[in-house]
């Protein structure tokens, strides 16, 4: 589905069904150098089981027009504008990695618009090493290879993956290469810098009013579970209902453990939303 957001075309995958804003809405936000397709194994289920599905391409990523936005705050503001354009008042919001920061910022700034919040492979702060930032700026193919290696906890797909022939490393490598080829120069560096510079996470957590679920990978080398503890504590101290689901996976939760990730998302999103405080 294409909508006009801030004067530019923006794309959201609707899970194989026409989007219906009268249904409960679910919004999925991808991470750095990715697009909506990272949610392919979860978004279709939501769309065919009672939700209006919007898995977005962020500005400058694949089918959403650029330029790419340079801050998490700007991306969260863009998300609010996209929901306006789609006729959505409130939604279940889920984000992976950089997308989790966008989801958190959105839920903190727009608590009345967020029914539930899911943060996958999250961390606060989400620091990016100088070496990786330099590679993303000057040697993007090297940065893609490094991140692809670090995103997966095993060399081979687990038995729970969809079936024989799924090459997780190859799929992710080609996706990042495709996003790079279709976007502006140094897009990976732009995304990583937005993650590295974002410092409002704990303040936004204090403003969250909906139930929140953190979904982390036990063997995540990019955002290890311990890196989410400060965020979970801040959410709990602010009075939010928060829990953490730990999966046997690395950073690429949605493909390494597609069924378990779907179960963690759908069971949570299906609960009645908390009354706004």
pLDDT of 120 over the 90 cut? yes
pTM: 0.96
- For the residues 12-34, what does the mean pLDDT come to? 98
Structural contact between residues 228 and 242, judged by C-beta atoms closer than 8 angstroms = no
Whether residue 161 is predicted with pLDDT greater than 90 in this model: the reply is: no
SS3 201: helix
CA–CA separation, 215 and 7 (whole Å): 34
Q: Which domains does the chain have, with CATH numbers?
A: 2-269 (3.40.50.1820)
Strands 8-13 and 2-5: antiparallel
pLDDT for 156: 59
d(CA 199, CA 169): 31
pLDDT tens-place string over residues 124-153? 999 999 999 999 999 999 999 999 999 999
Q: Flag whether pLDDT at 164 surpasses 90.
A: no
Question: What is the rounded CA–CA span in Å between residue 237 and residue 233?
Answer: 6
At residue 167, the pLDDT reads: 82
Tens digits of residue pLDDT in 256-274: 999 999 999 999 999 999 8
Q: What is the DSSP string of 2-37?
A: EEEETTEEEEEE-TTS---TTSPEEEEE--TT--GG
The confidence band for 277, taking pLDDT boundaries of 50, 70 and 90, is: very low
Q: How many CB atoms lie within 10 A of CB 182?
A: 15
């Amino acid at each position: 589905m294409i909508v006009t957001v801030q004067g530019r075309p923006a794309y959201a995958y609707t899970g194989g069904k026409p989007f219906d804003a009268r249904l409960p809405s679910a919004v999925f936000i991808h991470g750095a150098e990715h697009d909506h397709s990272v949610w392919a194994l979860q978004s279709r289920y939501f769309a065919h089981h009672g939700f209006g599905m919007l898995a977005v391409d962020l500005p400058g990523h694949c089918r959403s027009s650029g330029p790419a936005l340079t801050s998490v705050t700007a991306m969260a503001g863009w998300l609010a504008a996209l929901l306006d354009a789609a006729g959505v008042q409130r939604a279940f919001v889920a984000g992976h990695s950089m997308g989790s920061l966008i989801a958190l910022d959105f839920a903190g700034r727009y608590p009345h618009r967020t029914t539930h919040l899911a943060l996958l492979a999250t961390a606060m702060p989400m620091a990016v090493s100088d070496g990786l930032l330099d590679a993303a700026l000057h040697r993007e193919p090297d940065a893609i290879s490094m991140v692809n290696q670090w995103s997966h906890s095993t060399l081979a797909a687990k038995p729970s993956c969809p079936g024989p022939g799924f090459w997780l490393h190859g799929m992710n490598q080609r996706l990042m290469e495709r996003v790079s080829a279709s976007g502006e120069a140094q897009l990976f560096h732009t995304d990583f810098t937005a993650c590295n510079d974002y410092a409002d996470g704990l303040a936004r957590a204090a403003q969250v009013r909906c139930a929140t679920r953190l979904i982390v990978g036990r063997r995540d080398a990019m955002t290890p579970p311990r890196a989410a503890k400060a965020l979970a504590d801040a959410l709990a101290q602010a009075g939010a209902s928060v829990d953490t689901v730990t999966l046997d996976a690395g950073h690429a939760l949605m493909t390494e453990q597609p069924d378990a990730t779907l179960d963690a998302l759908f069971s949570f999103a299906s609960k009645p939303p908390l009354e706004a405080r």
